[in-house]
Amino acid sequence: MYFDYLNVLVFAGVGLVFTFANLILASIIRPKRKSDVGLETYECGEETIGDAWIKFDIRYYTVALVYVIFAVEIAFLFPWALVLKEVIAGTGAAAGSGIGAFIIVEGFLFIAILLLGLAYVWAKGDLDWVLHWDAPEYQPPTKHPRVTLPSIAELEAEDEADAEADGEDGPDGDEEAA
Amino acid sequence: MNAYIEQMGLIAPELVLTALSLFVLTWDLLKKGRNSDHIGYATLVGLAVTGWLLLQQWGMLGDKGTQTAFGMVTIDRFGTFFKLFTVGSMAVVTLFVMLDKNERKHGIGEYYFLLIGASIGAFFMVSTNNLLLLMLGLELLSLASYSLAGFHKGSKRSAEAALKYIVFGGLSAGVMLYGISLLYGLTGTLDLGLMGHAPEGSGAVSLATQFDASPIPVAIAVVLVLAGFAYKVSVVPFHFWTPDVYEGAPTPVTTFLAVGSKAAGFAALLRFVGALFLTDGVDASIVAYGDRIGFLLAILAAITMTLGNLSALRQGSLKRMLAYSSIAHAGYVLMGAASMTSEGFAAAMFYLAAYYCMNLGAFGFLIYFEGVTGKDDIDSLKGMGWRHPVVAWSMVVFLVALTGLPPTVGFYGKLILFYAAIDAGLAWLVIIAAINSVISLFYYFRVAKSMFLTEPVPQVPMRQHGLAGILCVLAVVTVLAGLGAFKDPLRGWADEGPASLEIYATDAGSR
Amino acid sequence: MSMLVWITFLPLLGAIGIAFLPATNTRLLRQAALGVTSLVAVLGLFLWSSFDGSIAEPQHGFVRDWFTVALGAGDVPIRFALGVDGISILLVVLTTILMPIVVLSSHGHIEHRVKEFFVWLLVMQAGMLGVFLSLDLVLFYFFWEVSLVPLYFIVGIWGGERRLYATIKFFLYTVAGSLVMLVGMIALIYGLQSSDLMDLIGRTGELPVATQTWIFFSFALAFAIKVPVLPFHTWLADAHTEAPTSGSVLLAGVLLKMGTYGLLRFGIQLFPGMAVSYSSVFLVLGALGIVYGAFLAMAQTDLKRLVACSSVSHLGFVVLGLFALTEPGIRGAVLQMVNHGLSTGLLFLLVGMLYERTHTRMLDRFGGIATVMPLYAIFFVFTVLSSAGLPGLNGFVGEYMILAGTFEASPLWAAVGVTGVIFGAVYLLMATRRVLFGALVHDANKKLADINAREIGIMLPLCVLCIWIGVQPNTFLDKTAGSLDALAKRVEQERIDQERGQAIGRIEFDAPSATTEGEESR
């Protein structure tokens, strides 16, 4: 038997008895003086203000999630480092398997993928504490950075193109509305 | 070192998918969300490469599976069968996303990234004998699915879907993990092969031995793990999330959940049950126990198909109706698992393949329909048949297939499922399934009725030729597979799946 | 390639071809459909002439491996097996001949969505022919369901006012029955490790009696719903009434015959022992169906519904004759299937023609039609007499043989059946009087045009066949003789065996060890 159920039962039993015996014992021997102050919740001596059920700023969660990336990284890199150590020393299960270089490449791949995740978060602006709600729309870089004045013909062509684009947009919008 | 790189070749499809997912994400980031179609095409190319690699793999694999990554990953035809269909359904879903008018407004790069991520999870889920990796695959699939379900950030229904999904999913994952930990405690191993049959000196105890010593903990552990699977494939007592999530999630995502995710769940379920209890497997002492698990699955199957079908009867929304119908179909597939024979497993696999085909079609129709009318209730389908004939007739083919009538692959799938179940002495289950088919007929043909038998209501005529083309192809495949053009190879593949599974179980025993 | 393959799949090819024709060119569509069905009809006549009625075994066989299923001891091959024998030849030829007529008859009332109509019609023809021709259980089921879906659309799209209700009812009834049959079929294939009909016939006795019984009833239920036998008849009246004329003709002419054909093929031929044991059940249901159907018909005010209810009565005769299990009974029943197809088909055509002119089917809206439509009246009276069983016309031969056969088996139920002939005459002649004769009270009816050449052309071949069967039934009976004689002999042998078994106090249905060994060595 891998499981010795009696142990579990005894463990659970002792735990329950310990908890409730102490509570009951305390209620028997403690002095009983009822007052309003005794009914208040307290924590480290501070008065509570407001309700505990409030909305936290979403940014706390974002940061927590970003933190998880690195927490996980560390959790996974420890065993990796141990195996790498064994490989270098030529001991343990990995002895003679010749996977040293392979392990190192894998480790860096892993970190690279996590870094990509960080880059993603960064690029999406989730690392900015002050969020830019009204960020200007992204403008593609023009081929010719120097400002040149368009000719009249070009301007006219542009207007026509705009008019055409509007004409196309109109029925599309109608379709969606329908 | 070379040996390891060669072994990595076995998981080349997974690696390609991983690279693809990172590529898609990065590209989208660099392009700042413009040119989403290019990302779609890139995804399709990546999926095609993956599919090609899988086909190569299929050809190289014999009857026997092979392992890599220190026994964590098992590559066999059983897994490859499901991977091929996952890739296929992913490709179709990708096309749906590209063609769905409702989806273009949102961050498309993440969409593809998450879909591919879910597929990677499904890949590992179906190709491991190790419960730990199975659980990891399942979680990867689930996490991606949770995000996808809530992808329409502004929509309350979508948010509700994601929340429900994650709460139910978290609970079931916990239950399943608890079961796995019990199994580990009982047998001293996480390897399903060793669990099924542990040789001397392996340091593990086979579940059969453990069952003889203490049946109740074994039963509890197995039932807990099965509960986790049951959630993933929405078998009845764990199905509550299905309709709400399917309804709230973006429709292409629903398609993936109903097809790819469910099939992966079934693959893992079949592998789990097969490794431990397949009656024509290794250990004679487990047979009686396997029969009992089979009986449990049979009862679940009966309840699932009945409840799914009865609930589907009352739905006004096509999307919800399809959700309940997918629950009912989980019941049919479970029939194959309940038969506890290789034939039953092969039948379940074949039915899943058929299910891929017809459900992709049905959901594709739903996307088309939502694009045209902006609604998803069956009454709004009125006269659709005459305004969009190609799509509507394709839908009729899918409905006929879902009901299980010839000449479609749905009939054939049901037929061999029925055979397998009768072969396993489950005639009562077959009768229940037959009655259920009649019930399902009623609500499936309500759609056909709405489309063709009622007069058209005026609506803006708008066609999406791309989507219509895909649906048409799927319908043709559904019929041809039923008539036999694709059926026999498919059947052969499905037959080889459990064979590789079973032989592998024996092999693991002697290792 | 066997002629049967062409007969079965030509309509399907035609359907695919028509699907690609332009939907607006109605004339072309009609011509194409007529061409395809005529071609099939010609093939049917060839089949008829080359069929040797004295042979009991199926002819023109075509067998290919289809797929295999792993069941129990080994792989069971499911084969694509077609063949025609004395049981099916009449129905096959009837189907092929009736189809061009159905296509022609659609002119008056199928005006919109013509293309879809013909596509479904041809798919349905392929299904029906497949049902009669297939010699493999799974293939039979395949065609059985294929013939079902088209009717859903034919009734549902081109039907009358209450078509939705009728469609759903008909569809649910039939599919429920056929799925029960599917379960029985799989159990049978599993039990005997074969799905070849000719192989299974004669081997069903190897199964335990209880298994035989439930499989027999699972088949019987499906066919009883399709026929329909008495308690399942309610879908028929609705479906018949709401279907478009051509759909009704097809329903009456062929689709209901699938039920009686199934009862004969899978009830009596496949399970002769069970048929003998439970024949009384079907005799009672058949006889009650005759009387009840007749009473229902008498009570109708809707002409089309009246004809539909008369179908219940007429098919009661067929069931009665089949389960009399005597040679004249079975032969008469097979002939009566054809008779009913001809007479009731004609009646539906006539009702349809009248409806196209008056847009009503209510009996009280007619009266005195004979004065404005004399040609129509001639055909109407002829058909009614044929349906009522006037000597010299087809109905008489069938009914006479059935009653003679039934009298041999059970005088009581034969007597009940005879009353059906009388009641039949009553409601049919009553309907004739109310439609054709009396005063022309409704002004709208005074300007009715008489039937035109096309309509006469549709009905004439059927009338000729009616007379032919009435005068020279041996032309048709001879074709069925070989198979049906053999069948009757087998059933008789079974009856004697059972009586002997009861006489010595035990029945040996269970597989004797000898046959089991024989099966293994094979």
**Domain range summary for chain B, segments of one domain joined by +:** 285-500
- Give Cβ neighbours of residue C10 (< 8 Å, ≥ 6 apart): C36, C39, C40, C43
Segments of chain B with pLDDT less than 70: 1-5, 33-36, 63, 101-107, 279-288, 456-464, 483-495, 497-511
| Interface-testing mutation among B460, B462, B463, B464, with chain A (most A C-beta atoms within 10 A) | B460
| Domains of chain C, residue spans | 271-499
In angstroms, what separates the C-alpha of B112 from chain A's closest C-alpha?
Answer: 15
CA distances, C229 to each of C287, C296, C414 (Å)? 10, 14, 17
CB C7 within 8 A of CB C129: yes
In angstroms, the CA B278 to CA B291 distance is 9
End-to-end Cα distance, chain C: 29
DSSP character string of A131-165: --TTPPPP-PPPS--S--PPPHHHHHHHHHHHHHH
The values of phi and psi at residue A65, to 5°, are -65, -40
| Residue B96 near residue B364, CB atoms below 8 Å | yes
pLDDT for C516: 42
Average pLDDT in the C509-517 region? 44
Q: Under a CB-based contact definition with an 8 Å cutoff, are residues B300 and B313 in contact?
A: no
Pairing of strands C59-71, B73-75: unpaired
Cβ neighbours of C165 (radius 10 Å)? 13
Neighbouring subunits of C (3+ Cβ pairs under 8 A):
B
Query: How high is the pLDDT of residue B508?
Result: 40
Give chain B's end-to-end CA distance (angstroms, integer).
23
Rounded to a whole number of angstroms, the distance from the CA of B1 to the nearest CA of chain A is 5
Taking the C-alpha atoms of residue C193 and residue B31, their distance in angstroms, rounded to an integer, is 63
What helix, strand, coil percent values describe chain A, rounded to 5? 60, 0, 35
**ipTM exceeds 0.90:** no
* Whole-angstrom distance, CA of residue B404 vs CA of residue B411: 4
Binned at pLDDT 50, 70 and 90, residue A148 comes out as low
Contact B188 A2 (CB under 8 A): yes
Residue A139 near chain B (CB below 8 Å): no
pLDDT of residue A169: 47
Residue type, C433: R
CA dihedral B413, B415, B420, B425 (to 10 degrees): 140
* Chain A touched by B1 (CB under 8 Å): yes
Residue A132, φ and ψ in degrees, nearest 5: -95, 95
CA dist list (Å): C246 to A155, C107, C224: 68, 9, 23
Q: Is B492 left (phi over 0), alpha (psi -120 to 50) or beta?
A: alpha
Tens of pLDDT, residue by residue over A72-128, are: 888 888 888 888 888 787 776 666 666 677 788 888 888 888 888 888 888 877 777
Q: C163 contacts in B (CB within 8 Å)?
A: 453
| Subunit contact B460:A175, Cβ cutoff 8 A | yes
Are B102 and B372 in contact by the 8 Å Cβ rule? The answer is no
Which residues in B418-440 are b (16+ Cβ under 10 Å) and which e? bbbbbbbebbebbbbbbbbbbbb
Q: Are B245 and B327 in contact (CB under 8 A)?
A: no
Distance (Å, whole) CA B256 – CA B265: 12
Residue of B400, B437, B484 lying closest to C149 (CB–CB): B400
Q: Among B56-65, B414-423, C248-257, C274-283, which is the least confidently predicted range? A: B56-65
A172 band by pLDDT with thresholds 50, 70 and 90: very low
Position A17 scores a pLDDT of 95
CA distance C84 to chain B (A): 22
CA distance C402 to C408: 10
pLDDT score of C299 more than 80: yes
The Cα–Cα gap between C246 and C104 comes to 9
Does C517 score more than 50 pLDDT? no
With CA atoms as reference, report the closest residue to B429 among B340, B321, B326.
Answer: B340
Q: What is the pLDDT of residue B302?
A: 93
Q: With the C-alpha atoms ordered C158, C159, C161, C163, is the resulting torsion angle positive or negative?
A: negative
The tokens describing B112, both together, are 């593809």
A142 vs C136, which has greater pLDDT? Answer: C136
Compute how many other C-beta atoms are within 10 angstroms of the C-beta atom of residue B460.
13
B382/C contact by beta carbon, under 8 A: no
Q: Please, is A37 exposed, middle or buried when counting C-beta atoms within 10 Å of its C-beta (0-12, 13-18, 19+)?
A: exposed
Interatomic CA distance for residues A15 and A8, integer angstroms: 11
Nearest CA in chain A to B189: A2
> Do C115 and C18 touch, CB atoms closer than 8 A?
yes
Res. A143 pLDDT band, cuts 50 70 90: low
Write down the pLDDT at residue B509: 36
Set of chain C residues whose Cβ sits within 8 Å of the Cβ of B413: none
- The neighbours of chain B, by the rule of 3 or more Cβ pairs under 8 Å, are A, C
Residue A178: pLDDT above 50? no
Contact criterion met (CB below 8 Å) for C403 and C415: no
Q: List own/partner pairs for C356-361 with CB under 8 A and 24 or more apart.
A: C356/C108, C356/C109, C357/C448, C357/C449, C358/C444, C358/C445, C358/C448, C361/C302, C361/C303, C361/C304, C361/C305
User: What does DSSP assign to residue B66?
Assistant: E
Residue predicted with more confidence, B358 or A32 = B358
Name beta bridge partners: C76.
Answer: C69
C54: helix, strand or coil: coil
CB proximity A163 to B under 8 Å: no
Distances (CA, A) of B355 to B89, B175, B233, B305, B326: 11, 28, 13, 15, 9
Q: How far apart are CA C358 and CA C365, in angstroms?
A: 9
Question: In 10 A of CB A8, how many CB atoms?
Answer: 10
Kindly list the residues from chain C whose CB atom is less than 8 angstroms away from the CB atom of residue B403.
175
Residue C510's SS3 state is coil
Strand, helix or coil for residue B149:
helix
Confidence at C357, pLDDT banded by 50, 70, 90: confident
A93: contact with B, CB 8 A cutoff: no
Q: Give the closest of A2, A98, A101 to B186, CB-based.
A: A2
Q: Are C76 and C136 in contact (CB under 8 A)?
A: no
Distance (Å) from the alpha carbon of C23 to chain B's nearest alpha carbon: 12
Per the CB < 8 Å rule, is A1 touching B213?
Answer: yes
The sign of the dihedral angle between the CA atoms of C453, C455, C456, C457 is: positive
For residue C224, pLDDT over 80 is answered with: yes
